[in-house]
Structure 1
């Protein structure tokens, strides 16, 4: 019976450890993506770059509040709103300066 308890505890610990590692990896990937987007904002015209960087800083603030106990629904709504604003800004920047392809 004691061996079975040890097996179940080891199995449970293994699952919890794996979930923690997955969460950690996910947070690192998101942080890297945000950092990359922030740096690439400099490729946009200055008027768009300033707005994009501001929105990315707001996004980080929302994500930090969500991680520290803020309501998840509020954080998700704020994240979606910022994603929409970012998409609109980048779309407008692309329309203002289309890529010229050689023929």
Structure 2
């Protein structure tokens, strides 16, 4: 491992920590919105506020668009999310399989 790589490791770890924390807060907050649970939303807002107070050099910003996108994604059935992420060549076949599964009493 080069000296330069070793010097960059702490920075990469800091970036990963901030990104993971932001994702966790965003997940919690969007779950609170989806479930219409004010307590969960308040916990997420408090966590965000606490993080930003303790880490002024790396604040986390969460906007309404991020939350709306997550809530919308949570409301989408898992089969539809999987289909949307599938390669274009597979989508037609998968859509048929999912439709057949629904008719048979699946999802």
TM norm. shorter chain > 0.5: no
Q: Which has the larger radius of gyration?
A: 1
TM-score (norm 2): 0.39
